Amino acid sequence: MNINKKRLIVLFSINVFIIVHILLWYKYGFQKVGTFSMNGIVTLLGFGLLNSAAAFFIIIVLITVFFGRVFCGWGCHFAFFQEFALRVLNKCGINPSIIHSRANIIQYVFLLKTITAIFEFWYIYGIPQFHINISDTQVMTSDLPRSPAIIASFLLFDAFLFIYLMGSRAFCRYVCPWAPLLALFENISFWRIRKIRECTGCMNCTRNCIMGITVHEEIAKHSAVVNANCIRCLSCKDACKNGTLGYKSGMSALSLTRKFRWLIPESGNYSIYVELFLVFCGIITAFYTQKYLGSFQTLLGAVWGLCFAVMIVKIVEKKRITITEFTPQNRSFLVLSLMLLLTFVWCWGTITPHETRLLMRGNRFMGVTEYDKAILTYRDAMNEYPSNKQIHTALALAYKNNGNYKEAINEYKALIAEDLENAVLRNNIGTVYYRKGEYDEAIKEYKKAILFDENLTAAYGNIGLIFLEKGNIEEAVSYLKKVFATEDEVYQYLLTYYRSKKGQI
């Protein structure tokens, strides 16, 4: 079995593990260990939280420092779909050419956007305090794709079409934001593909490299592969019948070349005008995909844009329309300037509004039960944005949780005055009255909540609990039957209540 088949089996097994993990978490409630994701950099540096994702990120960085981008070659779940798509295309007689282009600065834009998000969390929540909770899935996963259409589009475009147009591992080479991050550590990694015997010049290594690296040239020049795109897939080593190549420890790429290696190629298959067109289409579609479909779909949007742009370029080339070549005197400066400009524009276009930042900061204090700080934050927000109902509601909740019942009632009354038929607000103010011991007022508000929303089971349960505390079991049971599916559940609740003698709403 050749190395490519072995790698495909390993990558498939990783996806099976992910599916099992998801089933255990959501279906069977086994939630001891949370997400494994490179987004752990956000939880670690943005929130100061060491959870499973943050631990995973640290481990991958350490592996890269010593062994290179092994994770990209053998551990990334999406790598399986890319390599599977390539094998399917090959079986159909299609052998996509690997296209190199400086349009992959999109990767760096995504990475810089992630880093700016960390600083934004610092601005919202303050400098993070380090804490450990392995099962905490703090990474924002609410916008993960749940629609079969989105998932199918992700596989169709990001795997099959993108590879067909741009060559193997196109997603890794153009869109993945973690590739440039790991490439930083790849420069100092000790283990890499090295020359251990004389080369015969067959160039099988270069022909079989799935990242499009000219392996034979790097071996001839440095006696090692120093390209930061090397993902340690070992395809070149397996393809070398002479045994010229080995995966060995030695000097890092930085020591060998005295030069820091970026993922951006020094030359590409397209002119600078075409590359600017590719970047424009990729960034624009990514921006609007994030805006309307969620953050996770940003990468899908970038692929959509790049695929569209490449197809346009191919049509233009087919019609033999000349695209003028342009070679700037300082191309590296142009690339860097464009990358920073796109990052600035993206950050400016997706910046979190100040009132939302204040709300998020207050919510953060609520999450750690620091209600006094939450109240101060919400008050400051109210002074700046007095018409924001979300801040009003959050402030009322903070008062309630902090035991400031008079202030909570005043806030809820002000909100109800503008929305008389809001069942949730009625239920919340009823809870405040309950905690004050004003049971009759609480029942009035709960009944109004039910009037406006007869499916609000919380209100039925709250009334039932009040009647229990009043000693009126018959009335309590009539309301609790609206909450529980069976009478056995009702009586189990009553048994638990009388055992604890503590009611909570």
Find the range with the poorest average confidence among 42-46, 57-61, 236-240: 42-46
How buried is residue 130: exposed, middle or buried, by Cβ count under 10 Å (0-12/13-18/19+)? exposed
State which H helix or E strand residue 195 sits in.
Answer: strand 191-195
Q: What is the pLDDT of residue 166?
A: 92
Range among 136-150, 179-193, 335-349, 430-444 rated most confident:
179-193
Residue 98: φ, ψ to 5°? -80, 120
Q: What is the pLDDT of residue 337?
A: 57
Looking at residue 160, the DSSP 8-state letter turns out to be I
Domains and CATH numbers, the chain: 3-179+268-350 (no CATH), 188-257 (no CATH), 354-500 (1.25.40.10)
Q: What is the pLDDT of residue 298?
A: 81
What percentage of the chain reaches a pLDDT higher than 70? Answer: 88
Find the range with the poorest average confidence among 212-216, 280-284, 319-323: 319-323
Gap between the Cα atoms of 408 and 489, Å rounded: 33
List Cβ<8 Å contacts ≥24 apart for 380-386: 381/355, 384/354, 384/355, 384/358, 385/355, 385/358
CA angle 241, 246, 247 (to 5 degrees): 140
Per DSSP bridges, beta strands 245-249 and 49-50 are unpaired
Interval 106-115: pLDDT, tens: 999 889 888 8
Decide: 231 and 73 in contact? Cβ < 8 Å. Answer: yes
Gap between the Cα atoms of 296 and 499, Å rounded: 47
Decide: 282 and 298 in contact? Cβ < 8 Å. Answer: no
Find the range with the poorest average confidence among 147-156, 181-190, 336-345, 391-400: 336-345
Average pLDDT on 426-432 reads: 91
Average pLDDT on 88-101 reads: 91
Gap between the Cα atoms of 183 and 61, Å rounded: 10
Q: What is the pLDDT of residue 346?
A: 57
Range among 20-29, 186-195, 294-303, 373-382 rated most confident:
186-195
Decide: 69 and 183 in contact? Cβ < 8 Å. Answer: yes
- Residue 51 pLDDT > 80: yes
How far does the chain reach from its first CA to its final CA, in angstroms?
Answer: 63
- Residue 222 pLDDT > 90: yes
pLDDT averaged over every residue in the chain = 84
- Residue 332 pLDDT > 60: no
**Length of the chain in terms of residues written:** 505
Helices 178-186/105-125 angle, 10° precision: 100
Q: What is the pLDDT of residue 121?
A: 82
Residue 199: φ, ψ to 5°? -85, 140
- Residue 190 pLDDT > 70: yes
How buried is residue 234: exposed, middle or buried, by Cβ count under 10 Å (0-12/13-18/19+)? buried
- Residue 442 pLDDT > 80: yes
Q: Closest Cα partner for 36 from 127, 183, 158, 137?
A: 137
Q: What is the pLDDT of residue 321?
A: 47
Q: Is 378 helix (H, G, I), strand (E, B) or coil?
A: helix
State which H helix or E strand residue 280 sits in.
Answer: helix 272-293
Average pLDDT on 375-404 reads: 89
Gap between the Cα atoms of 140 and 391, Å rounded: 22
Buried b (16+ CB within 10 A) or exposed e, 143-174: eebeeeebeebbbebbbbbbbbbbbbbbbbbb
Interval 443-486: pLDDT, tens: 899 999 998 998 888 888 888 888 888 888 888 888 888 888 88
Decide: 11 and 76 in contact? Cβ < 8 Å. Answer: yes
Gap between the Cα atoms of 314 and 454, Å rounded: 60
Q: What is the pLDDT of residue 140?
A: 45
Q: Which DSSP string do the residues of 239-251 spell out, in sequence order?
A: H-TT--EEEEE--
Gap between the Cα atoms of 351 and 357, Å rounded: 10
Residue where the block lists tokens 């550590």:
185
Gap between the Cα atoms of 34 and 144, Å rounded: 15
Residue where the block lists tokens 């690296």:
213
- Residue 325 pLDDT > 50: no
Gap between the Cα atoms of 365 and 258, Å rounded: 48
